[in-house]
Each structure stands twice: as structure tokens, then as C-alpha cells.
């Protein structure tokens, strides 16, 4: 690395900020953010999932309080149901039919955003980048 080149940590932070800004801008029309999308997509992919499992998957992005806020927002929009299981105290989350319709519309926007973000990046370059990042994480946990 040359003296003028910034270290990888700088670029990781900048990439994350830039991705969030782009996704947030493209989701403004739905009054959603990248975090909202991550929660919506997670619930859609799982069909039904506990609130705790959502938090486990997204803990690097959202705290429990903000996750509750997002889920409550989706419940108010009638996009998700939150079912409390009294014996365990667990909250089961399911997407409503209205939520599935909204998801499909938002997914189209997300796919366009992804195409914009990865323009000029080959599948091979993407796979190499992910491999390098995974190796950095593994090295950091030794």
C-alpha cells in the first residue's frame, strides 16, 4: 500500500455509507431505509420467523429497540403480523398478503439499485472481494 492510499478499513466504511445512502435514496418513495428493507426481506425469505431470529441475523445493523420500531411500523402498515406466544414470550413475525404485494414492488426498486451499485463489477470481482473480506474476518478472530 502506498503512503497516499487509504487503508482497507477506510474503504469498508465508505462502501457501507455509500451503499446505505444509495439504498435509502431509492427507498425514499416508500418511506423506508436500508434497515427497513433488510427486515422486510428477512421476513419475506423466512415466511415466518421469531423477532429474536431476525435480531440474530441483523444484529450488525440494528439494535433491538430500533428493530421493534421497524416491526411496529410494518404492523401499522398491515404488512406484518406479530403473534406473541405466551408460554415462551417469543414473538412470531409473519408477512401479510398486503405486505407481500408491497415487498414485490419494493423488490423491483432494490433490484435496480443493486444493478446500479454493481455496474462495472464482474461476478468474479464480486466473489473475490467477498472471499477476501471473509478471510480478513477469519484472520481477525484468530
Is 134 among the domain residues? yes
Domain count, the chain: 1
pTM to 2 decimal places: 0.87
Residue 43, pLDDT score: 96
Buried-state track 24-62, b at ≥16 Cβ within 10 A, e below 16: bebbeeeebebbbbbbbeebbeeeebbbebbeebbeeeb
Is 95 among the domain residues? yes
Residue 86, pLDDT score: 64
CA 15 centroid distance within chain: 15
Is 27 among the domain residues? yes
CA 75 – CA 93 distance, rounded (Å)? 10
Residue 105, pLDDT score: 95
Is 94 among the domain residues? yes
DSSP 8-class letter at 5: S
Residue 1, pLDDT score: 62
Which DSSP helix (H) or strand (E) runs through 93?
A: strand 90-95
pLDDT band for position 84 (cuts 50, 70, 90): confident
* pLDDT, tens digit (0-9, with 9 covering 90-100), for 10-58: 999 999 999 999 999 999 999 999 999 999 999 999 989 999 999 999 9
Is 86 among the domain residues? yes
Average pLDDT, the chain: 93
Is 72 among the domain residues? yes
pLDDT band for position 117 (cuts 50, 70, 90): very high
Q: Tell me, what CATH number does 80's domain have?
A: 1.10.10.10
Please give, one letter per residue, the 3-state secondary structure of the chain.
CCCCCCCHHHHHHHHHHHHHHHHHHHHHHHCCCHHHHHHHHHHHHHCEEEHHHHHHHHCCCCCHHHHHHHHHHHHHCCCEEEEEECCCCEEEEEECHHHHHHHHHHHHHHHHHHHHHCCCCCHHHHHHHHHHHHHHHHHHCC
Is 77 among the domain residues? yes
Is 131 among the domain residues? yes
Domain of residue 69 covers: 17-140
Amino acid at each position: 500500500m502506498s503512503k497516499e492510499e487509504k487503508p482497507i478499513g477506510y474503504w469498508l466504511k465508505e462502501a457501507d455509507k455509500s451503499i446505505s445512502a444509495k439504498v435509502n435514496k431509492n427507498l425514499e418513495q416508500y418511506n423506508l431505509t436500508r434497515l427497513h428493507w433488510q427486515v422486510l426481506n428477512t421476513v419475506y425469505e423466512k415466511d415466518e420467523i421469531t423477532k429474536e431470529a431476525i435480531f440474530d441475523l441483523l444484529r450488525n445493523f440494528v439494535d433491538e429497540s430500533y428493530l421493534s420500531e421497524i416491526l411496529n411500523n410494518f404492523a401499522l402498515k398491515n404488512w406484518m403480523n406479530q403473534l406473541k406466544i405466551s408460554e415462551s414470550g417469543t414473538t412470531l413475525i409473519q408477512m401479510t398478503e398486503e405486505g407481500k404485494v408491497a415487498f414485490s414492488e419494493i423488490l423491483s426498486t432494490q433490484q435496480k439499485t443493486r444493478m446500479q451499485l454493481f455496474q462495472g463489477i464482474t461476478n468474479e470481482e464480486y466473489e473475490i472481494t467477498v472471499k477476501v473480506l471473509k478471510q480478513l474476518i477469519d484472520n481477525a478472530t484468530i
